Amino acid sequence: MKSIPAIFAVMGFLAEPVAAEAEIYGRDIKPLLQARCYACHGALKQKAGLRLDTGEAIRRGSKNGLILATNDPASSSLLLRVGSTDRDQRMPPDGEPLTPGQIQMLQSWIARGAPSPVDEKPEPDPSEHWAFRPVKRPKVPLIEVSEKNLPTSNPIDAFIAKEFEGRGLVPQPESRRDLLLRRVYLDLIGLPPSRDELHAFLADTAPDAYERVVERLLESPRHGERWARHWMDIWRYADWYGRRHVPDVWNSAPQVWRWREWIVRAINSDKGYDRMLVEMLAADEAAPEDEQARPATGYLVRNWYALNPNQWMRDVVEHTGKAFMGLTFNCAHCHDHKYDPISHRDYFQFRAFFEPIQVRQDRFPGESDPGPFQKYEYSANRKVVTQGVVSVFDENPAAKTFIYLRGDERTFPEGKPAVNPAMPSFLGGHLLRMEPLALPPPAFYPGVRPPIRQTMLEEHVRAKEAARRDFDAVSVKYVEARSVFMSQKETNNLSSLGKVLAEILATEVDWRNASNKLAVANAAHSSLQARMAADDARYGHSSRPNSGGTHNGKPYALKGTPDQGSSSSPADPALSAEESASRAERELLLRQAQAQFTLADGKLSLLEAEHSLSRARWNVDGASKHKEESDKADAAVKKARDSLATARKSIESAEAALLTNSRSYASLTPVYPSTTTGRRLALATWLTRPDHPLTARVAVNHIWNRHFHAPLVASVFDFGRNGAKPTHSELLDWLAAEFMDHGWSMKHLHRIIVTSRAYRRSSASPAEVSESASCLDVASESSSAAPGRTSEIGSNQERDPENRYLWRMNSGQMEAEVLRDSLLHLAGELDVTPVDYPLPTKDAESSRRRSLYFECFPEPGGHSQFASAFDPPEPMECYRRTSSIMPQQALAMSNSRLAREQSRTLSKKLASSLGDADSSAAASFVTLAFEHLLSRPPSSEESVACQNFLQKAFANPPETASIPVKNDPPSDSGSFARAHASLVHALINHNDFVTIR
């Protein structure tokens, strides 16, 4: 009998034929067409002049005629095409064919005359899509003040309150102050308040107590670390990976951490988001001489891939599209986008902005020289180079971008010309302005940068000093050897005299070598100075080049670079400096050749001496052993003679070279192209135009998501037509406008968000608030919900169970990093010293540094084992962190060294602050622990449960030895300490520890 209602449901149209037919269209036909056909036959495209987005348009047909035959449905071309078995005929051409059921559904709809609602609207024009229109600051709605004692000036609350109206939603009152403090601490700095901070806040009755906390947290250096991690998620931060176990760097770069450092710094100094984007995409063009900005292009370096430059481009296009614009350009990699007006060609035009780029590796002042960046090469392993700065520059301005097919770079259509960089017009691509830029010399030639010169000079001076010390030491030895000889000359002991002579010979060779090395070091230093002087002349002191960037150093002029060779006259003073640099360099070469000769010569004389000795021995005893030795020595002598001959030739050619006249000399460092295409700067400037429809909206949505644990637009990387609609579109636009009008200041945005009433609301459900447990905060009025409201608020959950309209605050869960940092912080163990080169993940449980500073990469070992249980950021794509609940988390919190050690340290700390044990010690300890760990006092039931636990633990000490903890030998206060540790350990496992209420 069960099936009868189902049958009625299916056959329903028989009962009410007219109403049901239009319903069938809306319920079954339209969604099918939308899913499978609209991409080509809707607002986006009208292939064959056909639209299928209204019943009327379907009945109208294509440019080839009608597609429906209501009198003979089966002969409708619509049905013939969707039912065709010919792949060239079948519709839709991509994906699975329609199922027989779906075709049958279409047929019976046609048989009924293809009915559809009369007022049906076609798909709106794609350019009308909300997210493709520029942001206009909406008027703040006027909302009646409905919540007492709370600031009403925050426009966020007006927009949110507007959505309550008509939905019957009643907002929750402000959160308990203790939980609010914990919330805002974890949100802004990623660490909970200590118990002292909590009590200080609760005692502060000034009306702006909360606002002052917010200011303090925003100014804390911890804030940059906390929010840097959020943006690192979005921007796909990853330390080098590829073949970690070899090791062999395939992706990203070992020095990419400088980009992380830049992010932290930028956030702490509240650099505008617009400027951050500009520097990440084009620091080399926008601020060519700002060495602090250069690492920002780590954003692009992170996507570098050793084996295939196309892959680099693909990742850059996909994620620049998703992260900055909330658009899935990657869908147009193989074909025109199915939902948004992004063509296959648009994809490649986007790529063309990045086509000329390459990675360069510069020396960092004061550090050793990492050498040039190692490029694409299959068979050579790429070493883990930790020194230096990696950044992006335009290596090949003439690089062409060709469209390829089906996502396979080997498939080019014949005869298609290369595409130029451009952005689609629906985004205002016509506003993009692009021009090539000349770079100042320090930007394309690190060798003229004073700190680099300084480093090199110091290096040479140190080499000279070392050579001098060696020479002095060897000289002393030589003199000693000679005096020994003089003293023994009289003894007539021939054998010992031979030894002494050999010694003299050896020290003399050493002395000559040391002397030569000193000469070489002196020559190298002179050469360096001469080359610097020549560089000064060459990159001179006249007018500034026409560059778009800021310019902090002294001006340089473009007079031709070493690789360009100009034909200026000999009278040019620059030429003489270049000549002397060239000469100094050749003198150095001669010195080196001479040193080489001396070395070879000395080696030869030693070998000759050895040879005569071994031949003499053989002559004496005829032993075959000595014969072998002698032959070997003979061969060695011959080889040494060859080396000497080579060295002599080197000297000859070096001497000959000295006679020539030349201006060429080696540059101090690699010299990169002195111009850049300006493409990326143009792209970044365009992206951050105030009329760009997406950049600000996407950014504020990301920021909102991290405050409220839910975004305003659920599809955070897809604001296109297939993405989600905003829950509060006016609020989103207002925030975007506010953001841009305040210099894209993130701190401004944080400030207005966290001081809003919406943010400060309780996350509890109405029943919970009215039944709120005892609160530390007696001054707060929040625990007493307004009477008379309960009848209504009970329905909030029914009307909006997912809290889309924010009638309460969402609760959140600590991310892996926050969890670890909080444990360390509460135990007083967190070491907040910033770290440059990332720490190995294997040390995460023993190290006390902030979690931000550990390696992070998408390969086994890319997260610590502890973090792995708590949804660590997925470095391949993490626009939104997942937040799972798994048994593995319970195991990690129960059994990890980190959790155990910190519980113990913490409990000792708490116990010591209690002073001498008394009868109320258990209760006091429990309260103390709750306040410190959960920022709230225990309820009476909680307190009782915990006291019982402690008493039981005191009474029954565990049978095993106590926990051995590094640097902290087990104390003999015995079961008390152990029970305390056990309780603290249980509390860090409390749901309210990991939860942000």
Partner 1 sequence: MKPNPHSCGRFPRRTFLADVGMGFAGLTLGSMFWRDGLTRASGGEGQSIHLPPDGKPLFAPKAKSVIWIFLSGGYSHLETFDPKPALNDHAGKSFDKTPFENPVAGQKHKARFRSVPADSINVRDVYPLIYPMQVGWKQHGRCGIGITDWWPRLARHVDDIAWVRNMWTTDNDHWAENQIHTGRHRLDETQPSLGAWVHYGLGSLNDNLPSFVTLGVPKSHTTSEIDHAYYLGPQHGGVPLAIDPKNPLPFGSRFEGVSAGEQAGEFELIGKLNQLAAVEYPDDHRLRARIRAYELAFRMQAAVPEAMQFPGEPEHIRRQYGLDQEQTKVAGERLLCARRLVERGVRFVLAYPSGLSAWDSHQKLKDNHEKLCANVDLPVAGLLQDLKQRGLMEEVLVVFCTEFGRTPGLEERGGGKTGRDHHPHGFTIWFAGAGIKGGTIHGETDELGYHALGEGHYITDIHATVLHLLGLDSRRLEIPGRKRLDIDHGQPIREILS
Binding to partner 1, residues 392-411 (CB under 8 A): 407-410
Dihedral through CA 59, CA 60, CA 64, CA 70, nearest 10?
Answer: 30
Of 768, 834, 839, 923, the residue at the interface with partner 1 (CB under 8 A) is 768
Residues of span 318-337 touching partner 1 by CB under 8 A: 318, 330-331
Between 84 and 956, CB nearer to partner 1: 956
Helix axes 921-934, 195-203, angle to 10 degrees: 80
**Quick one: the chain helix, strand, coil %, rounded to 5?**
55, 5, 40
- Taking the complex as a whole, the smallest distance from the CB of residue 806 to partner 1 amounts, in Å, to 16
- Taking the complex as a whole, the smallest distance from the CB of residue 622 to partner 1 amounts, in Å, to 44
CB atoms within 10 A of CB 281: 29
The answer to whether 97 contacts partner 1 (rule: CB under 8 A) is: no
Q: Which string of x and - marks every residue 18-57 that binds partner 1 (by CB under 8 A)?
A: ----------------------------------------
Asked if residue 393 lies in contact with residue 402, where contact means CB atoms within 8 angstroms, the answer is no
Asked if residue 352 lies in contact with residue 217, where contact means CB atoms within 8 angstroms, the answer is no
Residues of span 250-289 touching partner 1 by CB under 8 A: 250
Candidate ranges 358-366, 374-382, 486-494, 520-528; the one touching partner 1 (CB under 8 A): 374-382
* DSSP letters spanning 299-358: HHHTT-BTT-HHHHHHHHHHHHHHHHH---GGGGGTSS-SSSS--HHHHHHHHHTTTTEE
In 3D space, the residue among 258, 292, 309 whose CA is nearest the CA of residue 284 turns out to be: 292
Between 173 and 548, CB nearer to partner 1: 173
Region of 388 please: left (phi>0), alpha (psi -120 to 50) or beta.
left
Of 45, 81, 112, 243, the residue at the interface with partner 1 (CB under 8 A) is 243
Between 590 and 867, CB nearer to partner 1: 867
The answer to whether 307 contacts partner 1 (rule: CB under 8 A) is: yes
Residues near 921 by Cβ (< 8 Å), separated by ≥ 6? 914
Q: How far apart are CA 413 and CA 64, in angstroms?
A: 29
Of 662, 715, 729, 924, the residue at the interface with partner 1 (CB under 8 A) is 715
The answer to whether 88 contacts partner 1 (rule: CB under 8 A) is: no
Of 152, 310, 387, 675, the residue at the interface with partner 1 (CB under 8 A) is 310
Helix axes 695-708, 221-234, angle to 10 degrees: 120
The answer to whether 961 contacts partner 1 (rule: CB under 8 A) is: yes
Of 85, 492, 895, 919, the residue at the interface with partner 1 (CB under 8 A) is 895
Q: How far apart are CA 451 and CA 33, in angstroms?
A: 65
Q: How many residues bind partner 1 (CB under 8 A)?
A: 96
Q: Which string of x and - marks every residue 798-817 that binds partner 1 (by CB under 8 A)?
A: ----x--------x-x----
Of 169, 467, 698, 946, the residue at the interface with partner 1 (CB under 8 A) is 946
- Cβ-count burial of 514 within 10 angstroms (0-12 exposed, 13-18 middle, 19+ buried)? buried
Candidate ranges 342-350, 364-372, 650-658, 948-956; the one touching partner 1 (CB under 8 A): 948-956
The answer to whether 885 contacts partner 1 (rule: CB under 8 A) is: yes
Between 588 and 946, CB nearer to partner 1: 946
Q: How far apart are CA 553 and CA 290, in angstroms?
A: 9
b or e along 762-773 (b: 16 or more beta carbons within 10 Å of the residue's beta carbon)?
bbbbbeebbebe
Candidate ranges 79-87, 131-139, 154-162, 377-385; the one touching partner 1 (CB under 8 A): 377-385
Between 314 and 517, CB nearer to partner 1: 314
Residue given tokens 């550090």 in the structure block: 367
Candidate ranges 56-64, 307-315, 346-354, 559-567; the one touching partner 1 (CB under 8 A): 307-315
Between 177 and 314, CB nearer to partner 1: 314
Asked if residue 981 lies in contact with residue 904, where contact means CB atoms within 8 angstroms, the answer is yes
The answer to whether 563 contacts partner 1 (rule: CB under 8 A) is: no
Of 466, 479, 876, 917, the residue at the interface with partner 1 (CB under 8 A) is 876
The answer to whether 85 contacts partner 1 (rule: CB under 8 A) is: no
- Taking the complex as a whole, the smallest distance from the CB of residue 988 to partner 1 amounts, in Å, to 10
Chain-centroid distance, C-alpha 974: 47
Between 378 and 787, CB nearer to partner 1: 378
Between 436 and 958, CB nearer to partner 1: 958
Please give the C-alpha separations between residue 234 and each of 322, 502, 702, in angstroms, as whole numbers.
9, 70, 9
The answer to whether 381 contacts partner 1 (rule: CB under 8 A) is: no
The answer to whether 954 contacts partner 1 (rule: CB under 8 A) is: no
Residue given tokens 């989103």 in the structure block: 732
Residues of span 853-872 touching partner 1 by CB under 8 A: 858-861, 865-866, 868-869, 871
The answer to whether 941 contacts partner 1 (rule: CB under 8 A) is: yes
Between 127 and 939, CB nearer to partner 1: 939
Write out the two tokens for 474: 């060897």
Assign 3-class secondary structure to 74-113. Answer: HHCHHHHHHHCCCCCCCCCCCCCCCCHHHHHHHHHHHHCC
The answer to whether 96 contacts partner 1 (rule: CB under 8 A) is: yes
